[in-house]
Amino acid sequence: MVIVAGVFDNVAASYDTMNDFMSLGIHRLWKPLRPLHQPRPLYLHHNLPSAGWTMLDIAGGTGDIAFRLLDHATHINNSPASTMTISDINASMLAEGRKRSLATSYANSPRVSWLVANAEKLDTIPSNSIDLYTVAFGIRNFTNKDVALREAYRVLKPGGVFACLEFSGVKNPLLDAVYKRWSFGAIPLIGQLVAGDRESYQYLVESIEQFPKQEEFRDMIKEAGFVVPGKGWEDLTFGVAAIHKGVKP
Ligand code: SAM
């Protein structure tokens, strides 16, 4: 945990640059959640309660995903009452998020709250209180992923949705070889040259490699009590990343 905190302290300000390197820039395509192709983004398939959704973005860091979800709730789903708690274990990442929020329509908005918390212990969030729990590029860093999944299950209302965007497994062996060569060979070196920090970037590459692949992670979500729709996930860019979903019955 100390290592993880240090890594994100180090990368907080250069966070977008880091994601560009890690994903070859493709994360910029993943995060808009394809609103052009779907009436709702991938996270928001389910019907909104009329009072708006109570949303929780875990490992929310810079607020990137959270602001997009709020925008979507407001403009596409006509739900200006939806609220968002942006939570992260790392105060530096949240500080960066707060700073960025000042340039959005959510600057000092009562619809947004900020919470420093470990995803494995969300003490201040009541059980059965959340409609949508999102975690993007965060869960692979958690020490006890099973504990975090059970905590997600606890805080969600029955019918509430767990949605996770994370690096995953490339099925095509040729593409996988190219991607691995890029991540293990070039990224730590670029981290050293651009950010003067080889170790943090090496950690990030290894955390992606060690994270469970699509089927295994789907089974962990089921193990926590969720029902998974369809096969349980959607691959993005040949499986470089995937969106997993679960619904609390
Ligand atoms: N979700 C954001 C995004 O997509 O831009 C930020 C993702 S960043 C790669 C990973 C985040 O996970 C960091 O902000 C880090 O502090 C946070 N994190 C790591 N371990 C955590 C934990 N146990 N609980 C909550 N957040 C955690």
d(CA 52, CA 231): 28
Q: At 147, phi and psi to the nearest 5?
A: -65, -40
pLDDT of residue 114: 96
Which amino acid residue places its CA nearest to atom 10 of ligand 1? 138
pLDDT of residue 217: 98
pLDDT tens-digit profile of 65-104? 899 888 888 887 778 889 999 999 999 989 999 999 999 9
pLDDT of residue 2: 43
pLDDT tens-digit profile of 223-247? 999 999 899 999 988 898 899 999 9
pLDDT of residue 39: 39
pLDDT of residue 211: 96
Predicted complex: ipTM over 0.85:
yes
E strand spans, 152-199? 156-167
Ligand 1 centre to CA of 240 (Å) is: 18
Where do the domains of the chain lie?
27-171+212-247
Closest CA to 42 of 237, 236, 239, 249: 236
Q: At 75, phi and psi to the nearest 5?
A: -90, -35
Q: What is the mean pLDDT of each run of 10 residues along the chain (249 residues)?
A: 54 62 61 43 52 90 86 81 94 92 92 97 97 92 97 95 92 89 84 82 89 97 95 90 92
Q: Do residues 34 and 42 make contact, with C-beta atoms less than 8 angstroms apart?
A: yes
Pocket test for ligand 1, best of 88, 124, 201, 208 (most atoms within 8 A of CB): 88
Ligand 1 centre to CA of 61 (Å) is: 6
d(CA 12, CA 18): 9
Is the CATH number 3.40.50.150 carried by domain 27-171+212-247?
A: yes
Task: Answer whether 208 contacts ligand 1 (Cβ < 6 A).
Answer: no
Task: Answer whether 66 contacts ligand 1 (Cβ < 6 A).
Answer: no
Ligand 1 centre to CA of 94 (Å) is: 10
pLDDT of residue 36: 33
User: For ligand 1, what atom is nearest to the CA of residue 90?
Assistant: 16
Task: Answer whether 142 contacts ligand 1 (Cβ < 6 A).
Answer: yes
pLDDT of residue 147: 98
